[in-house]
């Protein structure tokens, strides 16, 4: 069976990104180990994942100017990641209290309550509540 194991997210700083994902979004830090670039320079292999989830995010520090220009622009200004939570209102309040920037207020959709927020790198995410139940 195949499944999506990791997606890479380019960030400016490992520790700031870990803090955002672990403390604010309440992801688990799965791995944080030394590694090297293809040409032998030091880097870290950092993986975070929502508690109980199977797909993780590889936090990849930008390497070089070309990658630095992609920080926060991986989805060309569109929402590119979708975080589904069991309790939308509690997550929204906790994230707002922690200073997360929401660029669109909550609204109800057939697929659940949704609000758009910006991560530590500037990428847009949908915060999604449970799907509405329709008879």
The residues spanned by each domain of the chain are 1-71, 72-135
Give the distance from CA 95 to its chain's centroid. Answer: 13
57: three-class secondary structure by DSSP:
strand
Same topology for domains 1-71 and 72-135, yes or no? yes
The architecture CATH gives domain 1-71: Roll (3.10)
Render each residue's pLDDT in the chain as its tens digit; 135 residues: 888 999 999 999 999 999 999 999 999 999 999 998 888 898 999 999 999 999 999 999 999 899 999 999 999 999 999 999 999 999 999 999 999 999 999 999 999 999 999 999 999 999 999 987 544
Per CATH, the number for 72-135 is 3.10.180.10
Instruction: Return the DSSP state at 21.
Output: I
Instruction: Return the DSSP state at 130.
Output: P
| Token digits of residue 113 | 């309550």
């Amino acid at each position: 069976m195949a499944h999506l194991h990791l997606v890479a997210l380019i960030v400016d700083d490992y520790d700031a990104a870990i803090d955002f994902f672990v403390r604010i979004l309440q992801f688990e830090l799965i791995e944080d180990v030394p590694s090297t670039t293809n040409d032998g320079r030091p880097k870290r292999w950092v993986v975070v994942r929502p508690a109980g989830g199977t797909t993780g995010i590889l936090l990849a520090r930008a390497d070089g100017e070309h990658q630095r220009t992609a920080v926060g622009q991986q989805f060309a200004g569109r929402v590119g990641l979708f975080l589904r939570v069991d309790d939308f209102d509690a997550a929204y309040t906790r994230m707002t209290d922690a200073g997360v920037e929401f660029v669109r207020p909550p609204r109800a959709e057939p697929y659940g309550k949704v609000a758009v927020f910006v991560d530590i790198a500037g990428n847009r995410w949908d915060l999604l509540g449970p799907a509405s139940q329709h008879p």
